């Protein structure tokens, strides 16, 4: 009986190990499933192998910051995943958080513009006919179009939309897959308006188009909304006497920044929320990955007072603050609002609390906040400052 009892104990111990192993496997598979669901758009577009290779490419240690950077005209900076993208008049550079150069791509565009989504970067030649899509590993696709490019956008799934001139039309919007392959996925032609901006819906299944024209001496800007499963317009809104600066899709709706107001539109183009600037002059603005919008007011020609306003994804004002000096280089991160004031980096948290200013050596040409770090491009270097 004693031998049978020992065997029973061994069997029970083995069963417990097997059960524990199955539980751990189930937990691992569940976590993997959650992780894959979170990145499903990227994985479905590029494949799991390329996704892993891109993650590996972004790893590794560089020489740190500040990093020498001089001799090129900086056009834009942007966040690409957790990395920094710097677009110059000749190249696109991608750097990780330790200063390692991930990519260095020569584009040869006369008037380059960059749009980023996830780990993809769309570069197009505004006024020219060329565009390309880059990732952490390689050039994904390139294309030459028949007409000059006005605007472009890239979705979370890598699809590309481009607005161009057109024969016997004022403008044409074309949506391609992530490889810029023909035939196009969707086309809209406008005989009445010029197209000035594009923004994919958050789900990637529709798009918003900013248009402009003149009517009886008045400037008329508008937004047209489309879903890719229908040729019919899904909604519209007009802004009489205003110029649209930006479209930004957020969970609260579509944020439209004009020179007179910031409005949030619903799926049919209806105005859900509106923030009017009054007599304030909009100097610059920025959007966060959360869909928040920061607005900087002040006259760029005068070293006078400035003001900052932060709006949530629903367009409601979160806070505002006055600055008794000239401010510029506004940049909005996930948890921080940053701008340059009197040669120092001034940052605020999302509750509107001012953090201690930090000195910056040299003139700041461009700024981008990634996480709790601010990346500042000066004529000689790229600086990285912690925003604690």
> Is residue 148 scored above 80 in pLDDT?
yes
> Is residue 90 scored above 50 in pLDDT?
yes
Confirm if 162 and 199 have CB atoms less than 8 A apart: no
pLDDT of amino acid 216:
84
**What is the average pLDDT across 70-97?**
95
> Is residue 363 scored above 50 in pLDDT?
yes
Confirm if 236 and 219 have CB atoms less than 8 A apart: no
pLDDT of amino acid 62:
81
**What is the average pLDDT across 297-309?**
83
**What is the average pLDDT across 6-35?**
59
pLDDT of amino acid 215:
87
Tell me what percent of the residues of the chain surpass a pLDDT of 70: 84
The residue with tokens 């769309």 is 122
Distances (CA, A) of 9 to 3, 191, 249: 10, 82, 61
17 forms bridges with which residues in the sheet?
none
381 forms bridges with which residues in the sheet?
68
Residue 169 to residue 178: CA distance in whole angstroms: 26
Confirm if 293 and 286 have CB atoms less than 8 A apart: yes
**pLDDT 10s digits, 113-136:** 999 999 999 999 999 999 999 999
**pLDDT 10s digits, 43-54:** 555 565 666 666
**pLDDT 10s digits, 207-234:** 999 999 998 889 999 999 999 999 999 9
Where do the domains of the chain lie, and which CATH numbers do they carry? Answer: 279-388 (2.130.10.10)
Angle, CA 60 vertex, CA 54 and CA 65 arms, to 5° = 115
3-state secondary structure 170-225: EEEEEEECCCCCCCCCEEEEECCCEEEEEEECCCCCEEEEEEEEEECCEEEEEEEE
pTM of the model: 0.86
Number of H helices, E strands in the chain: 3, 32
> What 3-state DSSP class applies to 360?
coil
3-state secondary structure 232-300: CEEEEEEEECCCEEEEEEECCEEEEEECCEEEEECCCCCEEEEEECCCCCEEEEEECCCCCEEEEECCC
Instruction: With residue 353 as reference, give the H or E element that holds it.
Output: none
Confirm if 103 and 92 have CB atoms less than 8 A apart: yes
Neighbouring CB atoms inside 10 A of 295's CB total: 23
Instruction: With residue 71 as reference, give the H or E element that holds it.
Output: none
Q: Which residue has the higher pLDDT, 38 or 91?
A: 91
Mean pLDDT (the chain) is: 90
Joined together, the tokens standing for residue 241 give 């006497």
**What is the average pLDDT across 144-164?**
97
> What 3-state DSSP class applies to 53?
helix
């Amino acid at each position: 009986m004693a031998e049978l009892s020992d065997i029973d104990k061994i069997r029970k111990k083995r069963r417990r190990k097997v059960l524990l192993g199955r539980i751990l496997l189930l937990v691992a598979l569940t976590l993997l499933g959650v992780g894959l669901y979170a990145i499903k758009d990227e994985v479905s577009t590029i494949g799991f192998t390329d996704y892993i290779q891109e993650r590996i490419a972004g790893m590794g240690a560089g020489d740190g910051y500040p990093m020498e950077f001089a001799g090129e005209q900086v056009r834009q900076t942007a966040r690409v995943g957790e990395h920094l993208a710097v677009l110059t008049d000749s190249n696109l550079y991608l750097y990780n958080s330790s200063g390692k150069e991930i990519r260095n791509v020569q584009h040869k565009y006369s008037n380059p513009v960059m749009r980023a989504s996830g780990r993809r970067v769309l570069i197009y030649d505004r006024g020219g006919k060329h565009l390309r899509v880059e990732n952490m590993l390689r050039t994904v696709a390139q294309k030459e179009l028949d007409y000059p490019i006005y605007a472009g956008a890239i979705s979370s799934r890598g699809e590309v939309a481009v607005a161009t001139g057109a024969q016997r039309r004022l403008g044409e919007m074309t949506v391609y897959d992530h490889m810029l392959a023909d035939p196009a996925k969707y086309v809209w032609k406008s005989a009445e308006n010029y197209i000035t901006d594009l923004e994919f819906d958050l789900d990637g299944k529709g798009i918003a188009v900013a248009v402009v024209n003149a009517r009886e001496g008045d400037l008329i800007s508008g937004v047209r909304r489309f879903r890719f499963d229908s040729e019919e317009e899904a909604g519209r809104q007009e802004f009489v006497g205003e110029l649209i600066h930006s479209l930004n899709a957020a969970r609260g709706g579509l944020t439209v920044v004009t020179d007179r107001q910031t409005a949030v539109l619903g799926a049919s183009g209806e105005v859900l929320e509106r923030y009017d600037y009054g007599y304030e002059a909009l100097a610059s603005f920025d959007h966060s990955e959360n869909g928040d919008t920061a607005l900087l007011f002040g006259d760029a020609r005068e070293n006078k007072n400035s003001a900052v306003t932060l709006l949530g994804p629903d367009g409601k004002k979160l806070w505002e603050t006055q600055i008794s000096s000239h401010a510029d280089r506004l940049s909005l991160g996930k948890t921080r609002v940053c701008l340059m004031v009197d040669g120092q980096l001034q940052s605020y948290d999302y509750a509107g609390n001012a953090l201690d200013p930090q000195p910056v050596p040299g003139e700041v040409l461009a700024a981008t906040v990634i996480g709790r770090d601010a990346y500042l491009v000066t004529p000689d270097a790229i600086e990285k400052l912690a925003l604690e």
